[in-house]
Amino acid sequence: MHVRAGALNRLDLFVRNGIPGIPVALPHVLGSDGAGVVDSVGPGASRVKPGDEVVLNPGINCGRCEFCLKGEHSLCVTFHLIGEHIAGTYAEYVVAPEINAYPKPAQLSWEEAAAFPLTFLTAWRMLVTKAGAKPGETLLIIGIGSGVGIAALQIAKMLGLNVWVTSGSGEKLARAKELGADAGIDHSAGGFSREVRRLTGKRGVDIVLDSVGKATWKESIVSLAKGGRLLTCGATTGPNPEEDIARIFWNQLTVCGSTMGTHGEFSDMLRMFRDGRLRPVVDSVFPLSQAKEALQRLEEKRQFGKIVLRID
């Protein structure tokens, strides 16, 4: 594929800085998200042809293991992402299996098309498949500003949930309200569960999405209503939080881990972009030559939405 735009993800920082125990051969090309024009296809390809405008589902699965045969592609025993151990989309050209190429929604710019696959697929699987989120339920998103957090906010509002968000930044809380968040909680002074309890008359929320991990996990557990679901797809502050197991069984909570999504989920999510019901938030666009500056913006958490690389 001739890449027209690629997008940054926090994964890129982990890969660049080195994931313990997972060697990456150098030189390596970062980048999981990309959109562009099919340049050429291998023998036997039938889904796409040169000239097609496509977006990539970044998750690569084997198609043969027990999980793939059940349609659970992101549980594949060899599941990996474009740009993780193989060359990614911070490039003029990238090679991917044809099953990973989907038609680009026509109304999206190249930058927007590159901006949604990884984060929206991750958020879609968590909210729709794992949590079975229903209209009228309450969702609390910890640390709005991240790509997954904003994607979850947009999907949840589309589904008719009441969505609260937390952030240490008043500006990010204001931006989230512009996107439909029903309330924002400033967590810079410390815990947020007390405020959640106060706002819900001690009940708590139905669903919490916490990809922050160690720093917020216990507060997230305490923020849940009885029978609530805690969703996690990452742990940016560390994977080993203080745990309160008694609260988990006594309140009959469900902890749902999730990674990426299936091809079926990607298709369902893509349809919402094609129908104009979802549109990604692009924070900023950098030329490929300034990938380093783009990564720095991500590392300093200055973004609200996706940081995109334009490839001329």
Q: Would you say 65 or 215 has its CB closer to Zn ion?
A: 65
Residue type, 107: Q
Binding mask 36-75 for Zn ion (x = CB under 5 A): -------------------------xx--x--x-------
Q: Would you say 68 or 113 has its CB closer to Zn ion?
A: 68
**Residue nearest Zn ion (C-beta atom):** 76
Q: Would you say 99 or 248 has its CB closer to Zn ion?
A: 99
Q: Would you say 143 or 261 has its CB closer to Zn ion?
A: 261
> Which residues are paired to 310 by β-bridges?
5, 287
Residue 266 beta carbon to Zn ion: minimum distance, rounded to whole angstroms: 16
Residue 263 beta carbon to Zn ion: minimum distance, rounded to whole angstroms: 12
Residue 19 beta carbon to Zn ion: minimum distance, rounded to whole angstroms: 21
Measure the CA–CA gap between 140 and 41, rounded to whole angstroms. Answer: 43
Residue 209 · residue 133 · CB < 8 Å: no
Residue 70 beta carbon to Zn ion: minimum distance, rounded to whole angstroms: 10
Q: Determine the distance from the C-alpha atom of residue 44 to the mean position of all C-alpha atoms in its chain, rounded to a whole number.
A: 32
DSSP letters, 208-261, are EE--S-TTTHHHHHHTEEEEEEEEES--TT-S-----HHHHHHTT-EEEE--S-
Measure the CA–CA gap between 7 and 21, rounded to whole angstroms. Answer: 26
User: Judged by CB under 5 A, which stretch of 52-60, 76-84, 222-230, 265-273 contacts Zn ion?
Assistant: 76-84
Measure the CA–CA gap between 16 and 28, rounded to whole angstroms. Answer: 9
Q: Would you say 76 or 94 has its CB closer to Zn ion?
A: 76
Binding status of residue 99 toward Zn ion by CB under 5 A: no
Q: Would you say 65 or 179 has its CB closer to Zn ion?
A: 65
Measure the CA–CA gap between 216 and 296, rounded to whole angstroms. Answer: 24
Query: How many chain residues bind Zn ion (CB under 5 A)?
Result: 5
How many C-beta atoms lie closer than 10 Å to residue 43's C-beta?
4
Measure the CA–CA gap between 33 and 82, rounded to whole angstroms. Answer: 8
Task: Out of 35, 76, 123, 153, point to the residue binding Zn ion (CB under 5 A).
Answer: 76
Residue 61 beta carbon to Zn ion: minimum distance, rounded to whole angstroms: 5
Residue 80 beta carbon to Zn ion: minimum distance, rounded to whole angstroms: 11
Alpha-carbon torsion, ordered 26, 29, 31, 35, to 10 deg? -160
Q: Would you say 62 or 255 has its CB closer to Zn ion?
A: 62
Q: Under the rule (CB under 5 A), what is the footprint of Zn ion?
A: 61-62, 65, 68, 76
